[in-house]
Chains A and B, each alone.
Chain A
Amino acid sequence: MKPAFSILAILTAVLLSYGLYQALVVAPTDQLQGDVYRIIYYHVPSAWTAFLLFSINFVASIAYLVSRNPKADVLALVTAEVGVVYCTIVLVTGPLWARPVWGIWWTWDVRLTSTLVLWLIYVSYLFLRRFSSGGQTPVLAAALAIFGALDVPLVYFSIWFFRTQHPQPVVGGGGSIDPRMLHVWLLNWAAFLCFAGLVCWSRYRVEILQRELEEAQALQALLERNPQ
């Protein structure tokens, strides 16, 4: 195991536990919502991480189509997988918070719906990878990833046209947030990013090894069939 990997693992563990402590104990309670608001320390960083991973998937897919470098394809695969996991966390923690605060589990608001559609697109991407076989999978998957990315702005505008109910972004949206809350927020985002990086890294190694193994096995079978 590379030392950098161990360092990242330790850093992730420290950041996650410190972030948990900060989010649950240190961060001030919200004036209006009470303690239930604390879920945003997981909800929002997960969303940012998922969107970042999907962007990496898009770039890696283009890179694969241009260069045909299998490493770009493995990167696209692992970011899509981990991105779907983070996106699922977003879609689960959202309703948990919405029920006590909005009084409803779900509403077809622009951010919720776009995230759901994004999740659907990437789940179909993983389906395609599962159901196609052989060397064509990376090309087909990369084409689908590009279509998915092109779809995102259209999805957003189509739903934006209905009025939106989601709280407007507090960061960069002109809203106000207690600096202590922002601090915890960013801390948790850093922790989640490290964790995502760690999982992607392990998954990347596993996938590369898996492919090497399959290649070796195919070669072995070929050699056994025609000796010399």
Chain B
Amino acid sequence: MIGLANITRATLAKDLRLEWRSKDAINSMLFFSLLVVVIFSFVFNPTAEESRRIAGGLIWVAFLFAAIVALNQTWARELRNQVLDAYRISPAPANSLFLAKAIGNFIFVTVLEALMTPLFIVFYSLRALGPVYQLPIIAMLGTWALVVNGTFFAAISVRTRAREIMLPLLLFPISIPAVTAMVEATSAVLTGEFSTRFWIALLVAYDVVFTIACLFLFETVLHAE
């Protein structure tokens, strides 16, 4: 158990340091989601009332697309110098590697959300009518739902031809219930018209089911030959 935590921490620290020095993922995610925000506001040109209704969807679609950038480079980065092969033959538990990558992606996407949300509020002049304190909970559960499966499927797609395009093809169909739940919960908070309880419960169920599935199957996928 201690070994697992130590290796997870070491791998996570390495990834964070790499990102801190290059800022490749976070910069491209930020600019990408900024573009989505601007294009959507041209396309819909919404009033304040309409914004409240569609903003939940817009925010999460922007984050989902932007997260693909971080997820794609998760394992692609380890292909250089055969680092992934080195991981495979090292005695380190596979799940510590998976957890480090998933937590790393969680941090990147959370930073992205923290920086982009104020911009959304400004551009769409949003003012929530429901319980705002629930938004961070929804954001955390939703982000984990995206990155846990995203990290797993990135490990699959990195082994295929056309790996960059393969990740969204695998991730989006499976993520449909999670995305529905995030969008509906966010819209519920923004409009204050209905309860978030069912959607938060669904997100929790999704997170639990797929975190267990990922931890259960990751070693098999990593060692697939």
Chain A interfacial positions (CB closer than 8 Å to B) = 65, 117, 120-121, 123-124, 127-128, 131-136, 139-140, 143-144, 146-148, 150-151, 154-155, 157-159, 161
Contacts and interface: CB of A to CB of B under 8 A. Distances in A.
Contacts of A136: 159, 224-225
Nearest to A152: B177
The binding surface of chain B is classed by DSSP as helix
Contact of A133 (B153, B161, B173): B161
Contacts of B217: 65, 143, 146
Interface string B160-197: 11100010011011101110110000000000000000
Contacts of A158: 176-177, 180-181, 202
Given A124-B169, A127-B166, A150-B213, A144 B177 contact: no
A147 B170 CA distance: 10
Nearest to B216: A146
Given A124-B169, A147-B149, A147-B210, A139 B174 contact: no
Name the interface size band of chain B: 20 to 34
Among A140, A150, A158, A161: residue with most chain B CB under 10 A: A158
B128 interface: no
5 contacts: A131-B161, A132-B160, A136-B224, A154-B177, A158-B202
Given A139-B221, A158-B181, A128 B161 contact: no
Contacts of A123: 173
Contacts of A132: 156, 159-161
Contacts of A127: 166, 169-170
B20 interface: no
A128 B159 CA distance: 10
A66 B213 CA distance: 15
Interface string B140-166: 000000000100110010011110001
Nearest to A65: B220
Interface of B: 149, 152-153, 156, 159-162, 166, 169-170, 172-174, 176-178, 180-181, 198-199, 202, 205-206, 209-210, 213, 217, 220-221, 224-225
A117 B179 CA distance: 13
Contacts of B199: 161
- Which 5 pairs between the two chains have the least Cβ-Cβ distance? A139-B224, A136-B224, A120-B173, A158-B177, A154-B177
A151 B172 CA distance: 12
A39 to B, nearest CB: 27
Contacts of B170: 124, 127-128, 144
Contact of B166 (A117, A131, A150): A131
Contacts of A134: 225
Contacts of B225: 134-136
Given A132-B161, A150-B210, A155 B220 contact: no
